[in-house]
Amino acid sequence: MDGNGRWAQRRWLPRAAGHRAGVAVLTPLLEAAGEAGVKTLTLYAFSTENWARPVDEVDTLMSLFLETARKKVPQLNDRGARLRFLGRREHLPESVRAAMREAEDLTAQNDRLDVYIALNYGGRSEIVDAARRIVADGLSPDEVDEATFSKYLYAPEVPEVDLLIRTSGELRISNFLLWQIAYAEFYITDTLWPDFSREEFFRAIESYASRSRRRGGV
């Protein structure tokens, strides 16, 4: 959800206003995803590196998450979305963890669209956490292959990423789903996240659909 801060800056607004505008994009986007037949959508909301932001901004983001969860989870549930979270939960405030558990419990039986929110998420942490659990489970080196390793990721059922959309013109991965994006196609746009529209989402999907994915073959 990249570019919220710059969106606000350009309007002489506080960064929090940019994050609020970023949240407003979620409902139209999730609706568009449902219409397009997307089965899984992952949003990068807060990275393990985002703790380095000023305390005020971190607090604002956590409050905004709680407010958004209260308002949007029932709507998502009505529309058949299943919500899950990726990331290290232990460092998040208990109020946030409780909202995550409630959202997951309420939507667990839905199957129209899987929505994953990466919150206190880092791709490297995910890989390290998987390695730790493999060691803790006492697996021998011979037992560790790509399929086994995948089972130790935060949400083993998450399919590999087909399309990665990066807003605000950044040309970096920024520690997002490192394992799962091995063969992802990229759609990079200068549009700032709060301006990302359903029309552009469909354009990204069209762009993806027009590519030939060879995955190392010919």
Report how many helices (DSSP H) and strands (DSSP E) the chain contains, helices first. Answer: 8, 5
Q: Which one-letter amino acid corresponds to residue 56?
A: D
Q: What is the distance, to the nearest Å, from the Cα of residue 218 to the centroid of all Cα atoms in its chain?
A: 31
The minimum distance between CB 23 and ligand FPP, in angstroms, equals 5
Q: Smallest gap, in angstroms, from Cβ of residue 213 to ligand FPP?
A: 28
Q: Pick the catalytic residue from 2, 4, 114, 120.
A: 2
Nearer to ligand FPP, 41 or 61 (CB): 61
User: For residue 183, what is the DSSP state?
Assistant: T
Which residue spans within 51-97 are E strands per DSSP?
81-86
User: Pick the catalytic residue: 4, 50, 111, 120?
Assistant: 50
Q: Which is nearer to ligand FPP, 46 or 152 (CB)?
A: 46
* CA 2/CA 106 separation, integer angstroms: 28
Cβ(77)–Cβ(108) below 8 Å? no
Contact positions vs ligand FPP (CB under 6 A)? 1-6, 19, 22-23, 43, 45-46, 50, 61, 64-65, 68, 117, 168
Known active-site residue 195: no
* Residue recorded with tokens 């703790």: 51
Please say if 50 is a catalytic residue.
yes
Smallest distance, ligand FPP to C-beta of residue 195, A: 12
Q: Which is nearer to ligand FPP, 65 or 187 (CB)?
A: 65
Choose between 65 and 152: whose C-beta lies nearer to ligand FPP. 65
